[in-house]
Amino acid sequence: MTCDITWISISGDAHQPCSAIQDVTDILKTVGRLLDQGVECWVVVRLDSVEVVKDVFWVGAVDWNVRNFHGFTYSTHRGTTYNAYLIRDKRIALVDSVYAPFSEEMVQRIREIVDPSKIEYVVANHVETDHSGAISRILELAPNAKVVGTARCKEGLQKHYFGDWDFQVVKTGDEIGLGEKSLRFLEAPMLHWPDSMFTYIEKDALLLPNDAFGQHLATSKRFDDEVDERILMDEAAKYYANILWPFSQLITRKIEEVQRMDLKINTIAPSHGIIWRSNPTRIVEAYLKWAAGEARKRTLIVYDTMWESTEKMARAILEGVRSLGVEAMLVRLPLSDRGDIIKELLDAKGLLMGSSTINNGPLPTLAPFLEELRGLKPSNKIAAAFGSYGWGGGAVRAVEDALGRAGIQVVSPSLTVKWVPDVDELRRCFEFGKEFARKVLE
C-alpha cells in the first residue's frame, strides 16, 4: 500500500487537512505511524519557486546556516542565498546555479516549473563555485544543454569540473533568442572574477548581474520591498566593502558603460540575497557612492591593548574626536568581527589605529585587519596611528607602514606613550583626537 505525504512549505498532508499538521515533528510522527502500520510512504518536500517577472523564476536556494564565506574570510551572520533564474520560453534557459550542496533544492524548484531535461541553455555568469556548483548536476539532467559564458568562464569551468560540455562562448553584445525573450550578455571582468558577466533580458528590463549588487542575507522573502531596508542596505554595504571594494574603479566604469548603453532596467536580480524590483536605482546609486569613496565625516578608532594603556589612550582620543562633534566608534579588534569593521570603514572618512607593543611590533591581533586593508585598498580615507610601549617601541611605526601599504593617507604624526599614560599624556591624546577630527571635517 502506498501513500504520499506532501509537506508544503512547513505543513500539509495529502491525507489530512493542512491544519492538522503543525510542524515537522507532527509530519515525522505521521510518517512513523504509517511505517509502523507497514505503509510504504514518502515525504515530499515541496519547494516553491518565485516568479520574478512573467516567466522568469527564482529557483535558487537559501543557505540559512552559513556563517563563514570564502573560507573564513567573510562572516555571514545572516546566512546567504544562491540565486539561480529559470527563463521559460520556447527555449528554456537557466542563468547561474547554486552551491553544490544545494543542487537538489534547485532541481526540485525547477521541476515545479519545467522538466529539467528541457533546459537548452545553462548560462554561467560566473565560475565561482557558489554559482556553478550545481552545473554538473543540471547537465546530467539536461545533457543536450549548451553552457554559455565568457572565454574565461569556459576555461574556469573546465578547470573546476573537467566536464566535456558543449560550450558557447559569448562576449559583450552577443544575444541568444529564446522565443519571446532573448538573453544579452555584457562582460564584467573582476565583478567579481575575470570570467564574470551580466545577463540582460530586454523584454523584461531585467538585469542578472551575478555578484554585483548582492548581499549575504538569508530570508524567506525575495524582494527589496519585502525586507527591512536598513538590514538590506547594511548587508549590501558589507558585501561591497568586503568583496568589491578593490574593484571600485571598474565598478564605476561598468555602471557608466551600462548607463551609456541606455538599457532600461526595472529589476536587478543578483546572485545573492534579495532582488531589487521596487527601487533598483537605490543600489546603483549606493555603488557609485561607495566606488567614489564617499563616506560620512566619522571616525573609527580600531585598536588592541595588552595592559589597558592603549585602551586608555583610545578612550581619551575618542573624547577628543567627539569634542568637535565628529561621530566616533571605538572597536577593539579581537572582540569585533573583521568583516563588520570593514563595513563600518566604508562609511567613515577617518581611521585611527592603536596598538600596544610586543616584540618591537604591534599586537598580532592587528595583523588580519591590516592585511585585509592592504588587499582592499580603501580609497579616500585618512588615518593616524597611536600606541604604547615599554622600552624599544616599534608598534606605531609598523602600523603606519601598514596603513601606507593599504594606500591610506596618514595625515597626523603618530602618538606614543611609554608605559601608562599620565594626566598630561591623556590630555595629549585628547588633543590628538581633536586635531584628527579637524582633518576629518575638512
Q: Which is nearer to ligand FEO, 130 or 425 (CB)?
A: 130
Distance between CA atoms of residues 137 and 253, nearest Å: 36
Can 121 be counted among the known catalytic residues?
A: no
Give the β-pairing of 74-75 and 167-169: unpaired
Minimum distance from residue 149 beta carbon to ligand FEO (Å): 14
Give the closest residue to 230 by CA, choosing from 252, 210, 215.
215
Instruction: Let me know the angle formed at the C-alpha of 9 by 80 and 125, rounded to the nearest 5 degrees.
Output: 35
Question: Which of 55, 128, 187, 372 is close enough to bind ligand FEO by CB under 6 A?
Answer: 128
The strand ranges marked E within 202-247 are 206-208
Give the closest residue to 191 by CA, choosing from 108, 136, 128, 142.
128
Active-site residue, selected from the candidate residues 4, 15, 23, 70: 70
Distance between CA atoms of residues 380 and 350, nearest Å: 9
Minimum distance from residue 212 beta carbon to ligand FEO (Å): 10
Question: Are 403 and 301 within 8 A, CB to CB?
Answer: no
Active-site residue, selected from the candidate residues 126, 200, 344, 425: 126
Minimum distance from residue 126 beta carbon to ligand FEO (Å): 6
Instruction: Let me know the angle formed at the C-alpha of 161 by 90 and 151, rounded to the nearest 5 degrees.
Output: 65
- Lay out the site mask for ligand FEO across 73-112 (x = CB under 6 A, - = otherwise): ----------------------------------------
Give strand pairing partners of 146: 121
Q: Which is nearer to ligand FEO, 30 or 271 (CB)?
A: 271
Minimum distance from residue 303 beta carbon to ligand FEO (Å): 32
Contact between 211 and ligand FEO (CB under 6 A)?
A: yes
Active-site residue, selected from the candidate residues 131, 192, 304, 311: 192
Number of neighbouring beta carbons within 10 Å of residue 305: 21
Minimum distance from residue 69 beta carbon to ligand FEO (Å): 8
Contact between 131 and ligand FEO (CB under 6 A)?
A: yes
Alpha-carbon distances, residue 402 vs 311, 362, 383 (angstroms):
20, 11, 11
Can 70 be counted among the known catalytic residues?
A: yes
Give the β-pairing of 40-46 and 2-8: parallel
Stretch that binds ligand FEO, among 122-130, 169-177, 293-301, 432-440 (CB under 6 A): 122-130
For the segment 263-282, give every residue that binds ligand FEO (CB under 6 A). Answer: 271-272
Stretch that binds ligand FEO, among 123-131, 247-255, 279-287, 434-442 (CB under 6 A): 123-131
Q: Which is nearer to ligand FEO, 126 or 222 (CB)?
A: 126
Contact between 428 and ligand FEO (CB under 6 A)?
A: no
Can 211 be counted among the known catalytic residues?
A: yes
Distance between CA atoms of residues 101 and 123, nearest Å: 20
Can 128 be counted among the known catalytic residues?
A: yes
> What angle, 0 to 180 degrees and rounded to 10, lies between the N-to-C axes of helices 280-291 and 248-261?
140
Active-site residue, selected from the candidate residues 74, 239, 240, 287: 239
Q: Which is nearer to ligand FEO, 126 or 277 (CB)?
A: 126
Minimum distance from residue 268 beta carbon to ligand FEO (Å): 15
Question: Are 187 and 171 within 8 A, CB to CB?
Answer: yes
Give the closest residue to 378 by CA, choosing from 354, 353, 404, 340.
404
Can 126 be counted among the known catalytic residues?
A: yes
Question: Which of 96, 105, 130, 425 is close enough to bind ligand FEO by CB under 6 A?
Answer: 130
Minimum distance from residue 242 beta carbon to ligand FEO (Å): 12
Helices (H), 179-279: 229-239, 248-261
Number of neighbouring beta carbons within 10 Å of residue 245: 23
Give strand pairing partners of 81: 62
Minimum distance from residue 138 beta carbon to ligand FEO (Å): 17
Stretch that binds ligand FEO, among 59-67, 125-133, 161-169, 314-322 (CB under 6 A): 125-133
Distance between CA atoms of residues 117 and 136, nearest Å: 13
Active-site residue, selected from the candidate residues 55, 130, 187, 195: 130
Count, residues near ligand FEO per rule CB under 6 A:
9
Can 15 be counted among the known catalytic residues?
A: no
Stretch that binds ligand FEO, among 124-132, 172-180, 226-234, 323-331 (CB under 6 A): 124-132
Question: Are 11 and 27 within 8 A, CB to CB?
Answer: yes
Residue identified by cell 511505517 is 35
Distance between CA atoms of residues 137 and 130, nearest Å: 14
Give the β-pairing of 296-304 and 348-355: parallel
Q: Which is nearer to ligand FEO, 243 or 258 (CB)?
A: 243
Question: Which of 192, 222, 254, 343 is close enough to bind ligand FEO by CB under 6 A?
Answer: 192
Question: Which of 126, 277, 338, 349 is close enough to bind ligand FEO by CB under 6 A?
Answer: 126
User: Footprint of ligand FEO on this chain (CB under 6 A)?
Assistant: 126, 128, 130-131, 192-193, 211, 271-272
Query: Hey, which residues are catalytic here?
Result: 70, 126, 128, 130, 192, 211, 239, 272
